[in-house]
A and B are shown apart, each in its own frame.
Chain A
Amino acid sequence: MKRLFIALFWILSLPVFAQHTADTMTEASDSEAFKPGEMILHHIGDSHEWHWFSTDNNHFTTYLPIIAFQPGKSVEVFSSKHLAEGETYNGLKLEHEHLVAEDGGKVYDFSLTKNAFALLLSSVLMLILFISVGNGFKKRHGQAPRGLQSFFEPIIIFVRDEVAKKSIGPKYEKYMPYLLTVFFFIWFNNLLGLTPGAANLTGNIAVTFTLAAMTLLITLFSSNKNYWAHIFATPGVPKPLLIIMIPVELIGVVVKPFSLMVRLFANMTAGHIVTLSFISLIFIFRSLAISPASLAFGLFINILELLVAILQAYIFTLLTAMYIGGAVEEHHHDEADYQMEGDHIAPTAAH
C-alpha cells in the first residue's frame, strides 16, 4: 500500500516538473519570436502529429496517420509526415491543423490525431486496469480485496452509493456502467492531460461534446411520462404561463448537457492555459529572475489541477446521475399538488 502511494505521488508529481522542462526546451529554441498565445493554443489544441519536444536543431515528433474522406473519392490513409511543414500530398494539405483540399473540395478528416491517439492509449490503460481489477474480484471471490482492487474499490463504492444511489434512486443499477466509465474516463484523461507531452483530451470540446451528448441521449431514452409531464404541463403553473414555460423547459433539456460540455472543457482548458501562462512569463520578461515566482505559481496551479481533475470527474458524473434521476423519477407530490388537493378537499368537507 505504501509503495502504491509513493508510486502514485511520483506519477502525479511528474507532470509538474517535466512539463516545465519540456516547455522551457521547446520555447527556448525560437526565443526570438516567442508568441505565448500561439504556444499555449498549440499546447492545448489538437494536432495531426505528436510533437514531443524540440532542440535547437531537431524536432522530436511522432507523425500520426491521416485518414481523409473526400466525397466521391476513396478513403485515403497516409502518414502526416507527408503534410509536415505545409507540404501537399495527394491534393491535401494542413492549414492551421485543418485538413483542406487544394481544389477547395470538401474533406472529412477522420485522422487519428494527437487527441484520438491519446484517447486510444487511455482507453487501453483503462481496459487493462479495470479488467484486471474485475478479474481480481472474480479470482478472490468472497475474500478481502488486494492491491489495485483495494485502491479502486472505495472509489467504485463511492460512485455507487454517493452518486448513483442518491441521485437516481432504486433504478440506479442500470446506469452504473455508464457512470463508472464516464467517471474514470474523465479522471484518467484529466490526469493524463497534465502529464508532459500528453494531449489535452478532456479539454477538447469534441470530447466533452460527445460525453454530454451521451448523457443527453441516456436521459431522453430513460425518461418516463412524469419527466415529459413536468415539461409540458409543469404542475402548479397556470395555463397561460405554460406558453412561456414549455420553451423554457425544452431549452433546459438541452442546456443541462450543454453545461456539462462547457464546464469540463473550460475547466481543463483554463487550467492548462493558466499553467502555461505562468511558464510563459519567463520568456515574456526574458528574465531568469522571474522563474522562481513563475515556477511556484505554475506548480501551485498544477497541484490545483490534480484536485480539479477528480473534482470535474465527480461533478460530471454527479450531474449526469442527477439528470438521469430526474428522468426516471416516479411521480411525487410536491407543494403545488398538495395545495390543489387541499382546494378539492375543502368544499367536500363543507358539505
Chain B
Amino acid sequence: MLTQYDVSLTDDPPMNLVTPELGLIFWQTVIFLIVLFLLAKFAWRPILSSLKERETSIENALRMADQAKLEMQQLKASNEKLLAEARLERDRILKEASAVATQHIEEAKNKATEEGNRMITQAREAIQQEKNMALAEVKNTAAQLSIDVAERILRRELTDAPAQQQLVDSYLKEVKLN
C-alpha cells in the first residue's frame, strides 16, 4: 500500500529549507531591530527600573528593620545599664547617709561626754574654790576668835605678862597645826 505513494522529499528541493532567503533576512533584521528598540524604550526600561527600584526599596526596608532591631537592643541594654547605675547610686547614697548618721551620733556622744567632763571639772574647781574660801574664812574667824580671846585675856590679866605670852604662843601654834 505504501509503495503507491511517493514518500520522498525530492519533489521540492530540500535545499530550500536550509538556504536563508535574502528577503526574510531583510525583514527579520528591520522588524526585529524596531521591536528591540521600541521594547527597550517603552517596555524593558520601565520594567527593569521599577523591578530594581522595588528590590532596593525592599532591601532598604529590611536593612532598616534590622537597624531598628539593633537600636532597640542597644536602647534596652542602655536602659538596663542606667537602671543598674541608678541602683548602685542609691546603694552608695544610703551607705553614705548611714555613715554620716553614725558619725553624727558619735560626734554628739563625744560632745556630750566632753561637756559632762567639762562641767564636772568646773564643779570640782568651784567646790575647791568654795572649800578654799571656806577654809580662809574659818582661818579668819579663828584668828578673830583668837584675837577676841586674847583681847579678853589681855583685859583681864595684864600682870603676868611673860606667862601670858607663852600661853598665847602655844595657842597660836595649836591653831596653826589645825
A46, B21: Cβ atoms closer than 8 Å: yes
Given A35, A46, A157, which contacts B51 in the complex, CB threshold below 8 Å? A157
| Nearest A residue (CB) for B54 | A142
Given A134-B46, A138-B50, A36 and B5 contact (CB-CB distance below 8 Å):
yes
B5, A110: Cβ atoms closer than 8 Å: no
B48, A176: Cβ atoms closer than 8 Å: yes
> Which residues of the partner chain B approach A303 to less than 8 Å between Cβ atoms?
none
B28, A207: Cβ atoms closer than 8 Å: yes
A36, B7: Cβ atoms closer than 8 Å: yes
A53 interface residue, CB < 8 Å from B? no
A4 interface residue, CB < 8 Å from B? no
> Which residues of the partner chain A approach B31 to less than 8 Å between Cβ atoms?
116, 119-120, 123
Given A37-B11, A112-B27, A181 and B36 contact (CB-CB distance below 8 Å):
yes
Given A37-B11, A177-B39, A96 and B50 contact (CB-CB distance below 8 Å):
no
Given B12, B25, B46, which contacts A96 in the complex, CB threshold below 8 Å? B12
Given B6, B45, B47, which contacts A156 in the complex, CB threshold below 8 Å? B47
How would you classify the secondary structure of chain A's contact residues: helix, strand, loop or mixed?
Answer: helix
Please tell me the number of chain B residues within 8 Å of chain A, measured between CB atoms.
46
A180, B23: Cβ atoms closer than 8 Å: no
| Nearest B residue (CB) for A144 | B54
B50, A181: Cβ atoms closer than 8 Å: no
Given A37-B10, A133-B43, A176-B48, A206 and B38 contact (CB-CB distance below 8 Å):
no
A206, B20: Cβ atoms closer than 8 Å: yes
| Nearest B residue (CB) for A143 | B54
B16, A285: Cβ atoms closer than 8 Å: no
Given A131-B42, A131-B43, A177-B44, A185 and B35 contact (CB-CB distance below 8 Å):
yes
Given A205-B17, A206-B24, A207-B28, A37 and B9 contact (CB-CB distance below 8 Å):
yes
B18, A205: Cβ atoms closer than 8 Å: yes
Within 8 A of B (CB), among A127-179: 127, 130-131, 133-135, 137-138, 141-142, 153, 156-157, 160, 173, 176-178
Of A209-217, A233-241, A244-252, A293-301, the stretch lying at the interface with chain B is A209-217
In the complex, which of the residues A96, A127, A177 has the most CB atoms of chain B within 10 Å of its own CB atom?
Answer: A177
A-B contact pairs, 29 of them (CB 8 A): A35-B7, A35-B11, A36-B5, A37-B6, A37-B7, A41-B16, A44-B17, A45-B12, A45-B16, A96-B12, A110-B23, A112-B27, A116-B28, A119-B28, A120-B27, A133-B43, A134-B42, A134-B46, A137-B46, A137-B47, A138-B46, A156-B47, A156-B51, A177-B36, A177-B39, A181-B44, A205-B20, A210-B32, A214-B32
Known: A137-B47, A210-B29, A211-B32. 9 other contacts (CB 8 A): A34-B5, A41-B16, A45-B17, A46-B24, A116-B23, A123-B34, A173-B48, A180-B39, A204-B24
Binding site for B on A (CB under 8 A): 34-38, 41-42, 44-46, 67, 96-97, 108-113, 115-116, 119-120, 123, 126-127, 130-131, 133-135, 137-138, 141-142, 153, 156-157, 160, 173, 176-178, 180-181, 185, 204-207, 209-211, 214, 265, 269, 284-286
